[in-house]
Amino acid sequence: MKIKYLFYLFIFFLVYTSHCQENNILEKLGFEKDSKLLIIHNDDIGMSQSVNSASFDAFDKGYINSGSVMVPCPWFLEVVQYSKKNPNLDIGIHLTLTSEWKNYKWGGVSSSDKIKSILDDKGHFYPEVSYVQKNAKYNEVKIELEAQINYFLSNGLIPTHLDTHMGAVRATPKTLQAYLEVGNKFQLPVQISEDYKSILDNKLIDFTRIDKSKILFVKKIYGKQDDTPINYEEWMIFYKKVLDDIKPGLNVLLVHVGYDNDELKAITVDHPHWGSKWRELDFKILESQEFRKRLKNRNIELVTWNQIKKVLYD
């Protein structure tokens, strides 16, 4: 009975502490505790020229207020040029451990002999997270994550946060450990939802190398999945529901913009979900008056990872 009581006391303390931290962040950002905060965040920048062009347009027109870059990808250096011309952008690192397209591949930033557990026999990242879950070694994942951050920094950019391509850094408690450690080391917020509290709380994570007070859980991360038809009407229904569902606290809406052109069609061949049409639909929703009007009418406040970074680390 005593053990059971202590367990429930611990859970209460954990939830209470998390709730207090969330309210504290809201107040430090200058908002009331019942404010609905949202980051409209674009993933996969640097993946292709099409994705870059749509991402830059979305930034320029205010359709997105945050994004993250896939450092190992071929079009990363174009992002460097754009970012230097627009130094106030909220751009983080989309830490990448997978390479999912059929005819378009990349490997790590690190020397391949140092990260063998996350590369296939051709030297590319594996196409699915399941391979990372099965093969990845903690030390090699950490080497590659740090290499991607350092390469970003060596190109003269300062990231606002870290997040993850296909959720690969959350594949196992050990890869998640590496993710949290590099965030702590480089003093960057890591994007992680409340769904992962249980993993952090059941002693699967070693906090001797992580400052737990710097982990800010996102209340909810929204993103289009692959279970609905790829058409504008379905897209609008989904995004309306997202805006209607947002609760007080910090929320993130993940989008993946691109232009439905020959380049992106070739890259995403045989992969309609997150493919060429999929990404252009995301762009069309974001630019629509219907979406923007609903965003305003729901009293949603837009914030950036850079604001959160300053609260956590300045």
pLDDT tens sequence across 28-70? 999 999 999 999 999 999 999 999 999 999 999 999 999 999 9
Domain ranges of the chain: 2-313
Q: What is the rounded CA–CA span in Å between residue 203 and residue 188?
A: 23
Q: 183: number of CA atoms within 13 Å, CB side?
A: 32
pLDDT, position 15: 43
Q: How is domain 2-313 classified at the architecture level of CATH?
A: Alpha-Beta Barrel (3.20)
What share of the chain has pLDDT > 70, as a percent? 93
Residue 86 has pLDDT above 90, yes or no: yes
Q: What is the rounded CA–CA span in Å between residue 231 and residue 154?
A: 41
Give the global pTM.
Answer: 0.92
Please report which confidence band the pLDDT of residue 9 belongs to, taking 50, 70 and 90 as the band edges. very low
Please report which confidence band the pLDDT of residue 227 belongs to, taking 50, 70 and 90 as the band edges. confident
Nearest C-alpha neighbor of 73 from the set 39, 41, 107, 26: 107
Nearest C-alpha neighbor of 97 from the set 209, 192, 179: 179
The average pLDDT across 143-150 equals 98
Residue 222 φ/ψ region, left for φ over 0, alpha for ψ in the -120 to 50 degree band, beta for the rest? beta
Q: What is the rounded CA–CA span in Å between residue 35 and residue 29?
A: 11
Compute CA distances 141 → 125, 150, 288, whole Å: 12, 14, 40
88-102, 177-191, 224-238, 280-294: lowest mean pLDDT where? Answer: 224-238
Longest dimension (CA), the chain: 65
Q: What is the rounded CA–CA span in Å between residue 198 and residue 208?
A: 18
| DSSP 8-state code for residue 119 | B
Cα 159 → chain centroid: 13
Residue 17 has pLDDT above 50, yes or no: no
Residue with tokens 């594996």: 126
| DSSP 8-state code for residue 300 | E
| DSSP 8-state code for residue 122 | T
Phi and psi at residue 288, to the nearest 5°: -70, 145
Q: Which residue has the higher pLDDT, 36 or 2?
A: 36
Cβ–Cβ under 8 Å, residues 14 and 197: yes
Q: What is the rounded CA–CA span in Å between residue 279 and residue 287?
A: 13
Q: What is the rounded CA–CA span in Å between residue 245 and residue 26?
A: 19
pLDDT, position 13: 39
Residue 184 has pLDDT above 80, yes or no: yes
Nearest C-alpha neighbor of 121 from the set 110, 109, 131: 131
